[in-house]
Amino acid sequence: MTLVRAAPGATSAALDRLLDLALAWESTAGVRALTGVAEAMAGVRGGGTSGLHPRSADAPPPGEVRRRLDELSPAARTLLEHVAEQGGEATTGTSRHHVSVADAATPAEELLARRLLVPRSGGVVVLPGEVGLALRGGTTTRESVDEVPEVVTSERSGDLVDRAAAGAAFEVVRRVELLLDQWSTAPPTALRSGGLGVRDLKATATLLHVDEPTAALLVETAYAAGLLATAADRDGNPAWVPTDLFDSWSAQEPAARWAALARAWLDTARLPSLVGQRDPQGKAWNALQPELSSGLAAEARRMALEVLADLPPGTVVASGTGPPSVVARVAWLRPRRPRTRADQVAAALVEAAALGLCGLGGLATYARALLHGDDPAPSLAGLLPEPVDHVLLQADLTAVAPGPLESSLARRLQLVADVESRGGATVYRFTPGSVRRALDSGWTAVELHEFVGSVSRTPVPQPLTYLVDDTARTYGAVRVGAVEAFLRSDDESALTELEHHPKAAGLGLRRIAPTVLVSTTPLDVLLPRLRELGGSPVVEAPDGTVHVARPDVLRARTPKDRRALAGASARAAAHRSAAASAVVTAIRSGDQAAQTRPATAATLSPSGSLAALREAVETRASVLISYVDNHGTSTERIVDPVSVEGGQLTAHDHRSDDVRTFAVHRITSVKPVAASP
């Protein structure tokens, strides 16, 4: 059988490479693949079986597979080809998993009846390895492995690439700082799942003047860099707030700050590109959601950047067809799980451009240093603009920053003025609301005048002076406070007596008018306390009338009458039938276990059980295991091992007639048994 579409010399070299990597080993019967490798190369996702049926000890010959394929209807053959193209795994919906060929009513049932698809737990079916090989004509892949995909490129100056990427890098640092400054005082509430709400993400995109995918990328990058975490807000609710690391990070030079962000993005397992998309259950992914990660993400990013780093000098990835060619190159380098990796590589190219690692389709010089593990800050620092320490005040109540402002100046200016436009020169506008915002934070009118006069290279225009003075003059004319209750009486002496009563100190009474007292004590607590002090207070209704309320009459809910449902008897009969079928299956499994039970069974260590189970997977033999469950009860089960991964045994259990998982450390004995007839 031809295994690969390659020249004989390339095949021999590839075989030697597999032996060097211990992915294959030489046995007396020839070269054999390591456990799991054959399954993966056959197109079955992790833990799949290479046999036509997990219960069979020996896989059928290729001729039997081809015969079953020839019997398929066109619709079933098309469905099988689609499952193979999508990775060898699918769901069957309402199709029956155990059905005969004559009773098959749908293409999915037709495939299941002929065991060309094998059911697994959770309603999932997988494509057996022999079927995948037969569909591909006996080859492991339909593409030629000798032809390396070429990256579609175009010419572009390296200096131009560096300048474009550096501009994006500077914007990333500025926006992350602005985001964390905002969340320092107004943090968004964390969802119960631990993520960021959709409304908060939209507000973040508006604040940073970016789209929502870019906002999600910046938030996730700040989180990966350790600048963001969950903590209790002022009300004790979990919220997303900057960490202590933010203070030291913001004090660094812009190039060093960018290096910390870029390094975190390159190494994180987070997947910002999935934010807003749907999970397998149809629920949208939220930013900062704990499950939004993948072990392949970091490798996909690094490989995408390495492809860009290997391009000849003066060339970049062409727009349009260039990124798909990079995806194809990475898929050729790492052929397993091509669809998942392709999505992550394509997202990595977009994210790298947004974060300033790439510009105009090429990898920046300082990003190459980052990729090699060196510090990119020195190379990037020379490309970033020098921060300025002044603005130019205009007569139309605006301030123009002729370049990137120093961090401390930018923070103070954003407090007293609103950002009107960004770019090479940022424009800030002073409004009554922005001046009032500064006054709310503790500034005085004198401090505002001194600040705008010290940071401006032009004279302070008279309209701005009038704006600050007018806002400060009306500031605080109306005062707002919080009270729980009020006391009103035409007898001022009665209120004076209550206000100065020795036992009324804890009621929080304060006089706001000769006939009105207010209190911070809730009404239901204040009323009995006043009566204890000798008063006879009554409750006043919102319309000013006296409100007298009778005690609520309590009642217990009457239990509903039990009503027999029309279909209860039919459902009960169905349950009894299903229970009887399960009992028969369990009894037969128990009888077989009793016949094959050894006289004495030695208790195995976890490593011994692991070795015995792996041997059973290799030989596809049924075994009798002794298993101790979570309650300490030991049972014996006959199982057909499918795979052993991560300390878990996946096997078909004869007792439950289903595929189950068992913890290896709870298996005390393993003994091979003859396959069921």
Of residues 332 and 304, more confidence is placed in 304
- The token pair that represents 130 in the structure block: 């022999």
Of residues 286 and 119, more confidence is placed in 286
| Annotated domain spans of the chain | 8-135, 153-381, 392-474, 485-544, 579-672
Which amino acid belongs to residue 614? Answer: R
> Per-residue pLDDT tens for 371-421?
999 999 999 999 988 888 999 999 999 999 988 888 788 888 988 998 888
The pair phi, psi for residue 241, each rounded to 5°, is: -130, 155
Tell me if 660 sits within 8 A of 621, measured CB to CB. Answer: no
Residues 6+ apart with CB under 8 A from 63: none
Residue 341 has pLDDT above 90, yes or no: no
Runs of H (alpha helix) within 71-189: 74-85, 107-113, 129-135, 158-185
**Distances 48 to 288, 345, 643 between C-alpha atoms, Å:** 32, 26, 7
> Per-residue pLDDT tens for 149-188?
899 999 999 999 999 999 999 999 989 998 998 898 889 9
DSSP 527: H
The per-residue pLDDT for 60 is: 59
Residue 257 has pLDDT above 80, yes or no: yes
**E strand or H helix that includes residue 341:** helix 338-355
291-295, 338-342, 410-414, 471-475: least confidently modelled range = 338-342
Tell me if 359 sits within 8 A of 162, measured CB to CB. Answer: yes
Local confidence band at 604 (pLDDT 50, 70, 90 cut-offs):
low
The per-residue pLDDT for 546 is: 66
Mark 365-377 as b/e (b = at least 16 C-beta within 10 Å).
Answer: bbbbbbbeeeebb
Mark 207-245 as b/e (b = at least 16 C-beta within 10 Å).
Answer: ebebebbbbbbbbbbbbbbebbeeeebeeeeebbbbbee
Residue 26 has pLDDT above 70, yes or no: yes
Tell me if 625 sits within 8 A of 636, measured CB to CB. Answer: yes
Tell me if 390 sits within 8 A of 457, measured CB to CB. Answer: yes
315-329, 364-378, 506-520: least confidently modelled range = 506-520
Local confidence band at 553 (pLDDT 50, 70, 90 cut-offs):
very low
129-133, 380-384, 588-592: least confidently modelled range = 588-592
The per-residue pLDDT for 421 is: 81
Distance of CA 597 to the CA centre of its chain: 48
The per-residue pLDDT for 1 is: 40
% of the chain beyond a pLDDT of 70: 83
> Per-residue pLDDT tens for 660-675?
888 888 888 888 876 5
Q: What is the mean pLDDT of the chain?
A: 82
69-83, 214-228, 570-584: least confidently modelled range = 570-584
Cα angle: 32, vertex 38, 43; to 5 degrees: 160
The per-residue pLDDT for 198 is: 94
The per-residue pLDDT for 179 is: 92
Residue 64 has pLDDT above 50, yes or no: yes
User: From CA 587, how far away is CA 381, in angstroms rounded?
Assistant: 75
Local confidence band at 58 (pLDDT 50, 70, 90 cut-offs):
very low
Which amino acid belongs to residue 212? Answer: E
**Distances 551 to 222, 539, 548, 554 between C-alpha atoms, Å:** 56, 14, 10, 9
Residue 99 has pLDDT above 90, yes or no: no
Mean pLDDT over 202-221 rounds to: 94
Mean pLDDT over 189-210 rounds to: 91
Residue 432 has pLDDT above 50, yes or no: yes
The per-residue pLDDT for 278 is: 87
The per-residue pLDDT for 424 is: 67
Local confidence band at 493 (pLDDT 50, 70, 90 cut-offs):
confident
Residue 212 has pLDDT above 80, yes or no: yes
Q: Parallel, antiparallel, or unpaired: how do β-strands 153-155 and 228-232 relate?
A: unpaired
DSSP-derived 3-state class of residue 425: coil
User: From CA 255, how far away is CA 580, in angstroms rounded?
Assistant: 72
> Per-residue pLDDT tens for 620-640?
888 888 888 777 778 888 888
* CATH T-level topology, domain 579-672: SH3 type barrels. (2.30.30)
DSSP-derived 3-state class of residue 212: helix
Mean pLDDT over 434-439 rounds to: 90
Residue 265 has pLDDT above 90, yes or no: yes
**Distances 607 to 292, 647, 661, 666, 669 between C-alpha atoms, Å:** 34, 10, 17, 11, 11
Of residues 135 and 226, more confidence is placed in 226
Tell me if 400 sits within 8 A of 425, measured CB to CB. Answer: yes
The per-residue pLDDT for 295 is: 86
DSSP-derived 3-state class of residue 39: helix
- Judging by beta carbons within 10 Å of its beta carbon (0-12, 13-18, 19+), is residue 660 exposed, middle or buried? middle
Residue 486 has pLDDT above 80, yes or no: yes
**Residue from 450, 424, 442, 384 nearest 169 by CA:** 384
**Residue from 160, 381, 174, 363 nearest 266 by CA:** 363
Rg (Cα) of the chain, in Å, rounded?
Answer: 36
Mean pLDDT over 510-519 rounds to: 89
Of residues 645 and 303, more confidence is placed in 303
